[in-house]
A and B are shown apart, each in its own frame.
Chain A
């Protein structure tokens, strides 16, 4: 696996881990039971995808998925700001879900064409599960697309969402969303994090940091 591929896989793994973490915050408190179940499953899938992506990189680099997920300094994570936000308003959660799943679908389509069979194989496996996330996101889009609070949330998050895909996929992403990439601003780099990220990292890694490496559970 070349360095560029390993970097791309880590970016995606960080996105999926952090989004899984944020999605899991709806467990127990979603607006209704079906969505409590849905977001809990989606969170579990995303964290599973992160684990598999970290594992693929870890096998190449002689480390472990857990070390990649939890033992790095917060400023070395390469997740996008979109997934870091704590969005406890339903319309914003759904806007992010729809934006992210659309972007992730495009990114996976490309990854499935990778010349590295390990990357293409894992991307195809992940995509089988993501198909259900896209169906779920689409159902919500169909339901909320004319609601002003939802369309405002889509606009608010659109610039951050563009950072999820590589530069050259942005026009295609915009076309799928029916939105424009010409806002005059560039999407944030993955090296810049939100003010909310350090707190998320603290919480996400607290158990791991509380125990010496190698503790068996």
Chain B
């Protein structure tokens, strides 16, 4: 009989469809796993609501559970239970290693332009904070574009939400 720990392990093998260096568990989108006699219920919260990877994630989770010999039920939570603060420390390290600046921690209240323009954002290539905001938006809704004045490298910054 499959256990919750085995399910978590299996989910940790599913890469994020758009940023495959990190897994769904690293991303913090899996909120709850409940196992009941061969039936597995997974609650997960989308990152961005318009993320086209949502359906891909749902299917991947179901397939992974079937591979464990259990019957999946995957619920998409439409609530406020995900923020970029849920990305795990391991996930952040993997993002940085592949050239994505991980999101800054969320402060009280919504992010502001001043925060985006402040010099706390570190270049994932050289580590300098001499970086500037190029575009609030980027190649996917979860990313902004920044430029590093030190190593002269443009890079993608995960938005803090």
Count residues of chain A with CB under 8 A from any CB of chain B: 33
Residues of A within 8 A of B52 (CB): 44
Tell me the A99-144 residues at the B interface (CB within 8 Å).
117-118, 121-122, 124-129, 131-132, 134-136, 138-139
Residue in B81, B111, B112, B141 whose beta carbon sits within 8 Å of that of A44 in the complex = B141
The stretch among A47-55, A72-80, A149-157, A185-193 that forms the contact with chain B is A47-55
Residues of B within 8 A of A132 (CB): 111, 136-137, 159, 161
In the complex, the answer to whether B50 meets A46 with C-beta atoms within 8 Å is yes
Residue in A42, A121, A139 whose beta carbon sits within 8 Å of that of B78 in the complex = A121
The residue in chain A whose Cβ has the minimal distance to the Cβ of B136 is: A136
Say whether, besides A41-B141, A128-B161, A129-B141, A48 and B79 are in contact (CB < 8 Å).
no
In the complex, the answer to whether A129 meets B80 with C-beta atoms within 8 Å is no
In the complex, the answer to whether A48 meets B48 with C-beta atoms within 8 Å is yes
Cross-chain pair count, CB within 8 angstroms? 86
Q: Is A38 an interface residue (CB 8 A)?
A: yes
Residues of A within 8 A of B140 (CB): 41
Q: Is B116 an interface residue (CB 8 A)?
A: yes
Count residues of chain B with CB under 8 A from any CB of chain A: 27
Question: A: which residues have CB within 8 A of B?
Answer: 34, 37-38, 40-42, 44-49, 51-52, 55-56, 117-118, 121-122, 124-129, 131-132, 134-136, 138-139
Q: 1/0 contact trace for B59-79 toward A, CB 8 Å?
A: 000000000000000000011
The residue in chain A whose Cβ has the minimal distance to the Cβ of B116 is: A135
Residue in B51, B79, B110 whose beta carbon sits within 8 Å of that of A122 in the complex = B79
Please list 29 pairs of residues, one from A and one from B, whose beta carbons are closer than 8 Å in the complex, sorted by A's number: A34-B137, A34-B145, A37-B135, A38-B137, A41-B137, A41-B138, A41-B140, A41-B141, A45-B48, A48-B48, A49-B50, A51-B50, A52-B49, A118-B78, A121-B78, A121-B81, A122-B79, A125-B80, A125-B82, A128-B83, A128-B161, A129-B49, A131-B110, A132-B136, A132-B161, A134-B110, A135-B111, A136-B136, A139-B136
In the complex, the answer to whether A38 meets B136 with C-beta atoms within 8 Å is yes
